[in-house]
């Protein structure tokens, strides 16, 4: 295992500045997820750590040692790519053992290590096959196995599940998290999928336009977003943002400002029964325009004080289009943002 530190890291491609002074510390054995929209710099940051891109300025340290000038093959870092990057003419066993062969391990040691990893990933029955004979999920397991077989203290993942269907992505999320608990390697995982980020990471680093917006546990990021961007990016469905008369009802001094925005997650609304406690306020009537059945929950789309709102309720409540229902919120689950800066005024 090894700790990792990015210090004042910058990187440009031509006139486009991709990384703008990144500072980030990752503990030994931690599973950190880099998440953000396309083009935010997360894959570039990962590739600078792997040695596939060179920084313009700043330093990267692994285990306390600066590795800026260390060649990629000498960094003792494994990487799993989005497109698998398997050799088509090699069998699964040969693909998994190729890196070990380059390291000079004996045939018996390679065979033993590949066997152990293939058993762990439950792909031992595929060792004699070639990539074209495998499904997408099987290829991804092989790519993962090739990285794990090297037994490096650091393993990097660059959107490895984006080519898989929803069911396989769900399975592989669990497998990768389970492997991390078993191997205890330091892992950094890049994704634009906030579901992957919140279900897999010990901590999440949210990036936007080459800058880190917030770092924290999935719970911290979800319940205490630093700004409106994070509040809208993390969470599915995203947070509702309300202005005007709704905000004026809040018992907070900052809510009296015209540039304040109320943020409420869809599940934080409650159907009012006419009574409120000290931590609740009535918001008014909600007119349902569309209902989506999500299985255990129901997503209601509609209008509240002439603003579009989405709320989540139990599907057994069986609300329907055209219905009007009174809403209230729990103030402990509400957020107040500055419209100009986007900053959360309640953290």
Q: Calculate mean pLDDT across residues 264-273.
A: 93
Same domain, 275 and 172: no
Question: Domain tally for the chain?
Answer: 2
Per the CB < 8 A criterion, the answer to whether 22 and 58 are in contact is yes
Picking from 233, 264, 296, the residue at the C-terminal end of a domain is 233
Same domain, 174 and 295: no
Decide: helix, strand or coil at residue 158: strand
Tell which phi-psi region holds residue 58, choosing left (phi > 0), alpha (psi between -120 and 50) or beta. Answer: left
Same domain, 120 and 250: no
Read off the tokens for 45.
């940051």
Picking from 233, 251, 269, the residue at the C-terminal end of a domain is 233
For residue 297, list its beta bridge partners: 314
Same domain, 121 and 212: yes
Q: Does 184 reside within a domain? A: yes
CATH code assigned at 127: 3.40.50.300
Per the CB < 8 A criterion, the answer to whether 97 and 129 are in contact is no
Q: What percent of the chain has pLDDT over 90?
A: 65
Same domain, 65 and 213: yes
Same domain, 306 and 159: no
Q: Does 347 reside within a domain? A: no
Peptide bond into 237 cis (omega under 30): yes
Other CB atoms within a 10 A radius of the CB of residue 45 amount to 26
Full domain range(s) for residue 293: 241-338
Assign 329 a pLDDT band (cuts: 50, 70, 90): very high
CATH code assigned at 334: 2.40.50.140
Picking from 233, 257, 276, the residue at the C-terminal end of a domain is 233
Determine the straight-line distance between the first and last CA of the chain, rounded to whole angstroms.
34
Q: Does 344 reside within a domain? A: no
pLDDT of 46 strictly over 70: yes
Read off the tokens for 306.
């002439």
Which H helix or E strand runs over 179? helix 166-183
In whole angstroms, give the CA distance from residue 66 to residue 170. 36
Same domain, 195 and 297: no
Same domain, 158 and 174: yes
Same domain, 25 and 156: yes
pLDDT of 1 strictly over 70: no
Which among 316, 326, 321, 214 is positioned nearest to 280, based on CA atoms? Answer: 326
Predicted TM-score (pTM) of the model is 0.89
Count the alpha carbons within 13 Å of 322 in the hemisphere toward its beta carbon: 0
Which among 337, 336, 329 is positioned nearest to 312, based on CA atoms? Answer: 329
Same domain, 319 and 294: yes
Same domain, 258 and 121: no
In whole angstroms, give the CA distance from residue 185 to residue 31. 8
Q: Which long-range contacts (CB under 8 A, 24 or more apart) does 148-151 make?
A: 148/78, 148/117, 148/120, 148/121, 148/179, 148/183, 149/96, 149/97, 149/99, 149/100, 149/113, 149/114, 149/117, 150/78, 150/99, 150/100, 150/103, 151/113
pLDDT tens per residue, range 105-145:
899 999 998 998 888 888 899 999 999 999 888 888 888 88
pLDDT tens per residue, range 154-206:
999 998 888 778 887 888 888 889 889 888 899 999 998 888 999 999 999 99
């Amino acid at each position: 295992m090894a700790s990792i530190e990015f210090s004042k890291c910058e990187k440009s491609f031509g006139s486009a500045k991709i990384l703008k002074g990144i500072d980030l510390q990752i503990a030994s054995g931690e599973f950190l997820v880099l998440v953000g929209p396309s083009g935010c710099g997360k894959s570039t940051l990962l590739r600078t750590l792997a040695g596939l891109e060179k920084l313009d300025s700043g330093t990267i340290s692994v285990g306390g040692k600066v590795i800026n000038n260390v060649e990629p093959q000498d960094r003792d870092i494994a990487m799993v790519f989005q497109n698998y990057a398997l050799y088509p003419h090699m069998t699964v066993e040969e693909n998994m053992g190729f890196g070990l062969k380059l390291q000079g391990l004996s045939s018996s040691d390679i065979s033993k290590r590949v066997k152990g990893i293939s058993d762990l990933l439950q792909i031992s029955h595929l060792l004699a096959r070639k990539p074209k004979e495998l499904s997408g999920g099987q290829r991804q397991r092989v790519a993962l196995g090739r990285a794990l077989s090297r037994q490096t203290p650091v393993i990097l993942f660059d959107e490895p599940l984006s080519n898989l269907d929803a069911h396989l992505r769900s399975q592989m999320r669990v497998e990768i998290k389970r492997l991390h608990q078993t191997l205890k390697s330091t892992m950094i995982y890049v994704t634009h999928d906030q579901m992957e980020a919140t279900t897999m990471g010990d901590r999440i680093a949210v990036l936007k336009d080459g800058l880190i917006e917030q770092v924290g546990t999935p719970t911290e990021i979800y319940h205490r977003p630093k700004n409106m961007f994070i509040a809208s990016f993390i969470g599915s469905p995203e947070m509702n943002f309300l202005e005007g008369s709704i905000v004026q009802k809040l018992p907070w001094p900052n809510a009296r400002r015209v540039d304040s925005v109320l943020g409420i997650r869809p599940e934080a609304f409650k159907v009012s029964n006419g009574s409120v406690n000290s931590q609740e306020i009535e918001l008014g009537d909600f007119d349902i325009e569309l209902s989506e059945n999500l299985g255990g929950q129901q997503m209601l789309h509609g209008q509240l004080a002439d603003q579009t709102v989405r709320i989540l309720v139990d599907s057994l409540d069986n609300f329907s289009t055209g219905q009007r229902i009174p809403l209230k919120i729990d103030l402990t689950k509400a957020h107040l943002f500055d419209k100009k800066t986007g900053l959360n005024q309640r953290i």
